[in-house]
């Protein structure tokens, strides 16, 4: 029998733990380990196995082509989801415009490793050597200032983790449907990325994690084009944030790589950095915004103080809740127990969690002409203090005994019905 060693991430960490986010630490329950990992099973994830790429391979073309065709065909019928029809097709076209407009900045942030040929990774200015003597090396100050800059650029939550190479993708791939356009990863040492090699610059030791909030009103219309536009807007705002933070870090004399979901797995890094916990829906659940955030990161060699993983009882609550699994039209979310193994190669085995069947999810997107988001809209944590004035969160973070009762009450009395997109836009007044 294969021997499995379950190791807990975060053990033997030699780096200083942060004391700079005191205002957050006061309300956070520190957790010793971020995730349970079976090191006999876990391998760095091959980016070619992300559902986006796997499905494109199966289809023989970029999945987005088909998804876009599906959207266009809906909008041409005056619809923004199979069951959301407008009398005037022009109304649907406005929603299409939201989706097109809100995703444009996101497209500027490319994966590290694609080299200059992508023409997308905004590299910023070189640090002037004549300023080298001014460089600050005080970890606490550098951490505090980096958080401040991230907040100025739209982040509502920030954290720092030690860079764990297990979360970095094992490959990069230039096109979703490109077969052999992959360059090998050279681990944690080596020259800056070029067209020939995907290698992190030497000394990259930390990751700054940021979360930007998504528009809850738009998300409440899920599944719809408008909810998809909220995702795109969140990513574009996150891209703006990390492109700016990385340029700032380079401006004060350190190396920095801005990244969205490219280059490495962001969610486990965010768990390590204490931004939230991993939920049944496969998303990071933050205490303040639930899964209704978009995440991004900056990989850097700037000396920083790192944060702790947190335990607010959210993962434990997912045991009782299961609301996202009930609302998932694709049946992609597990309503069973967490496990160390997933459904298919689009899952990366080895981490104890609920695995989401990503190809099922993505096929639903293509069939519905939306990017769904029902698992965000249905999660009670999405509603923050709007969820009975935050009382359930307080109870969940202090005792597990009431989880079953709270989730029963929530199912019985909380109304999280899909909001009509037109009604939301009318309410929003903008
Ligand atoms: S986005 Fe929709 S289809 Fe995909 S996992 Fe969430 S609820 Fe299911
Ligand atoms: S909907 Fe419920 S089960 Fe799903 S992630 Fe949110 S709290 Fe967990």
Asked if residue 108 has pLDDT above 80, the reply is no
Asked if residue 4 has pLDDT above 50, the reply is no
Measure the CA–CA gap between 420 and 383, rounded to whole angstroms.
18
Q: Ligand 1 centroid to 325 CA: how many Å?
A: 9
Domain residue limits at 295: 6-428
Asked whether residue 93 is domain-assigned, the answer is: yes
Asked whether residue 205 is domain-assigned, the answer is: yes
Q: Ligand 2 centroid to 320 CA: how many Å?
A: 9
User: Which of the ligands is closest to the CA of residue 330?
Assistant: 1
Asked whether residue 296 is domain-assigned, the answer is: yes
Measure the CA–CA gap between 40 and 175, rounded to whole angstroms.
31
Asked whether residue 32 is domain-assigned, the answer is: yes
On average, the pLDDT of the chain sits at 83
R_g (Cα) of the chain, nearest Å? 21
User: Which of the ligands is closest to the CA of residue 328?
Assistant: 1
Give the total number of structural domains in the chain. 1
Ligand 1: which atom is nearest the Cα of residue 324? 7
Query: How many CA within 13 A on the CB side of residue 152?
Result: 10
| Range from 2-6, 138-142, 251-255 carrying the lowest mean pLDDT | 2-6
Q: Which residue has its alpha carbon closest to ligand 2 atom 7? A: 318
Asked whether residue 16 is domain-assigned, the answer is: yes
Asked whether residue 45 is domain-assigned, the answer is: yes
Q: What is the mean pLDDT of residues 357-366?
A: 96
Q: Ligand 1 centroid to 92 CA: how many Å?
A: 22
Confidence band, pLDDT 50/70/90 cuts, at residue 197: low
Asked whether residue 1 is domain-assigned, the answer is: no
In this prediction the pTM is 0.82
| 109 close to ligand 1 (CB < 6 Angstrom) | no
Ligand 2: which atom is nearest the Cα of residue 325? 4
Ligand 2: which atom is nearest the Cα of residue 283? 5
| 81 close to ligand 1 (CB < 6 Angstrom) | no
Q: Ligand 1 centroid to 364 CA: how many Å?
A: 8
Structure tokens at 429: 């007044």
Looking only at Cα atoms, what is the longest distance across the chain?
65
User: Which of the ligands is closest to the CA of residue 286?
Assistant: 2
Q: Which residue has its alpha carbon closest to ligand 2 atom 6? A: 379
Contact residues for 395 (Cβ-Cβ < 8 A; gap 6+):
402, 406
Contact residues for 47 (Cβ-Cβ < 8 A; gap 6+):
53, 111, 169, 170, 171, 172, 173
Contact residues for 145 (Cβ-Cβ < 8 A; gap 6+):
none
Asked whether residue 210 is domain-assigned, the answer is: yes
Q: Ligand 1 centroid to 346 CA: how many Å?
A: 15
Among candidate residues 14, 7, 35, the one with its CA nearest the CA of residue 310: 35
List the beta bridge partners of residue 299. 207, 257
Q: Ligand 2 centroid to 332 CA: how many Å?
A: 14
Confidence band, pLDDT 50/70/90 cuts, at residue 213: very high
């Amino acid at each position: 029998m294969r021997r499995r060693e379950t190791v807990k991430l975060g053990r033997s960490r030699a780096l200083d733990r942060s004391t700079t986010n005191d205002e957050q630490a006061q309300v956070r329950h520190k957790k010793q380990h971020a995730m349970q990992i079976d090191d006999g099973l876990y391998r760095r994830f091959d980016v070619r196995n992300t559902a986006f790429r796997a499905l494109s391979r199966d289809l023989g073309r970029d999945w987005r082509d088909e998804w876009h065709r599906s959207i266009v065909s809906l909008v041409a019928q005056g619809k923004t989801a199979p069951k959301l029809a407008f009398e005037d097709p022009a109304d649907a076209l406005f929603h299409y415009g939201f989706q097109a407009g809100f995703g444009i900045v996101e497209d500027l942030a490319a994966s590290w490793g694609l080299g200059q040929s992508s023409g997308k990774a905004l590299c910023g200015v070189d640090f002037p050597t004549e300023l080298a003597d001014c460089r600050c090396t005080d970890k606490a100050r550098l951490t505090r200032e980096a958080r401040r800059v991230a907040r100025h650029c739209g982040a509502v939550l920030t954290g720092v983790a030690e860079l764990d190479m297990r979360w970095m993708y094992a490959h990069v791939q230039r096109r979703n449907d490109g077969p052999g356009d992959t360059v090998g990863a050279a681990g944690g040492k080596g020259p800056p990325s070029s067209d020939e090699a995907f290698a992190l610059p030497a000394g990259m030791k930390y990751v700054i994690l940021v979360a930007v909030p998504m528009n809850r009103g738009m998300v409440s219309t899920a599944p719809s084009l408008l909810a998809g536009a909220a995702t795109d807007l969140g990513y574009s705002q996150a891209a703006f944030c990390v492109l700016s933070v990385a340029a700032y870090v380079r401006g004060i004399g350190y190396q920095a790589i801005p990244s969205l979901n490219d280059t490495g797995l962001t969610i486990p890094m965010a768990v390590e950095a204490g931004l939230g916990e991993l939920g049944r829906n496969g998303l990071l659940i933050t205490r303040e915004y639930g899964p209704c955030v978009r995440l991004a990161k900056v990989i850097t060699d700037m000396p920083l103080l790192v944060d702790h993983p947190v335990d607010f009882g959210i993962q434990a609550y997912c045991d009782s809740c299961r609301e996202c699994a009930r609302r998932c039209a694709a049946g992609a979310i597990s309503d069973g127990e967490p496990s160390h193994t997933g459904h298919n190669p689009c899952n990366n085995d080895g981490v104890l969690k609920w695995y989401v069947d990503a190809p099922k999810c993505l096929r639903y997107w293509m069939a519905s002409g939306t990017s769904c988001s029902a698992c965000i809209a249905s999660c009670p944590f999405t509603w923050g203090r709007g969820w009975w004035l935050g009382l359930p969160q307080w109870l969940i973070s202090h005792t597990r005994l009431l989880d079953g009762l709270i989730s029963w009450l929530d199912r019985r009395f909380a109304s999280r019905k899909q909001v009509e997109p037109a009604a939301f836009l009318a309410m929003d007044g903008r």
